Chains A and B, each alone.
Chain A
Amino acid sequence: MIALPSIAFGGFSGSAKDVTARQVGGRSILSVRSWPTGQTTSAQVVRRASMSKITKSYKTLSDEQMLAWENLAKHTSGQSIFGQKAELSGINLYVRLNVNRVMAAESMILDAPESLNSVPSASYRLAVVSPSMVIFQGIKHQPLPNKFVVKMSAAVSPGISNGWSKTVIISPNAEDDWGEADLTTLYTKTIGLTPVVGQKVFIEVYWMNTATGETGQEVRGSTICLTDEEAAALVGGSRARYTEEDLMPGSTVTECDIEFTTGAPVIFFDVLSQGMDGVAQSEIYVDKPWPENSRGTVYVLNREKKENSYHIGVLNGVIKETYDHKNSAVFNAAAGTIGKPGEIFGAGILV
């Protein structure tokens, strides 16, 4: 896939390749059937340059610092630190940890950490790839400073069984959004090609402790590129969430994050309401239906967001489909003092 302005790639010749052009998000996208081998990605170029610089920097360490790295290496094994068996020397450990840190946009560490802890293995439930979507779901969350590293290949023939050597780092430091990671933009930018429906994408994921650079066991997988419609159906049905992107005209909120899929008998709110002139009311209209069994009255806390004014109250919000088929949530004051603008946040109970 080539985005205009283009990133150069090789191996493209004549009519043997199939090129189509599409508009995605206002950009013109050309897609090709296969990814040329033997080429270096920009991501790989950056990584190799860092490793060289980091390796050279080891010689600038003091004797005490080098000794500390050697000692640490003796007490650790590659399996536990990088998920792979290997003998480690002090310089190996220094380079690998710092390469990982730099990749995660962290600064280098010159002093060896006191100790290293094993990083958990990664797991996820679903990886969905389509020409306009690359989404992971059900990522088993690990707390900071762990971040999710995702390596993926371009789409290749479904007949290829081992394409993990072709994976490149799509994201060195993803933070999952409650088990989800949307890597569409990063994939597009890194790979430079649109996945083709029916083709296979290889995946490797692992967690990295960005404070030390340690990485966990790599987990490998693959997925077949779906059509956009198939992908949307698979992804969209699992999470009932409404954000600014879903707001329709008439909404009097400027920030919106409402989610029904808490797994608890409450609805989550994090909304910034601007209120309305002359009416103590706040209205939200969204372009997709509310979930089943979610029509009713919700009670949730509100805090005024104004300089020198911190009044609080309870709002009651009526969630429904209006007579003219709008999906609405209209909030009125139920208790306390409702100032505007107001932050509507926390767990709301629906009755």
Chain B
Amino acid sequence: MLTIVGNNFGGNYSSVTLKSVETRFYVVVDGIITVVPSGAAYDAAEVLELEVEGLQMPASDPSAVYLTCQVSGQRYVTIAKAWIKNSHTICIEKVAGWGSLASYQIHLRCLFFPTGYDFCPQYLARNKISLSNAPSGVTMRLENCLFKEGWMSFYVQFSQWQAADPTALLQLTLNNVPAGAAGSLLLVYNEASLESMGSGYVPMTLNGTSLVSDEAPGSLFNNAQDYKFIKGIVIFD
């Protein structure tokens, strides 16, 4: 667990803890904070800094964290660069165009680790998952998931996903997902009419073999022509 004890942009996170799994060589972090991008402190900060307790890793390479918001009923998602600056500071990039929002969420759900250290690698094969009774209009083109004890890296691409009813929840049944693998994920899609501030997304919940959206995807979801994907790091409860 990481406790946020301070920040440089005027946020109040006294009740926020971040789930974490830390080893000598990497840190998995999982938590969501809400940012109000206004006020002198936010304006003055070049980089958003979270002061944390409980972190041992002294530095890391950058990783991507999702930023989400809702504008006029449309959910938007983009990514910001995040990194461990020292053993008590996590930094997050300020993304252009998001400073004018009333608020947005930072999904601090990523793998932090430094590169360059001498090691001899142990290779790991992925946990192969597949669609069970794939609904019409859904094609999973590739998957590369790894389920660890207590957390997972979930990465799938869909070459097509047409919701039979975009006003209804999306539902998939997956094979070979462990029962304890559970958490929230973002299904990302791009549609031409979306504002330039980001891509669209549908919030999803994984619970073992069940992958269900938290809300209906809406019509833009079906109009999106590119590959839809989920790439997320989740620490199980």
Q: Do chains A and B touch in the complex (CB under 8 A)?
A: no
Chain A residues with CB under 8 Å of chain B are: none
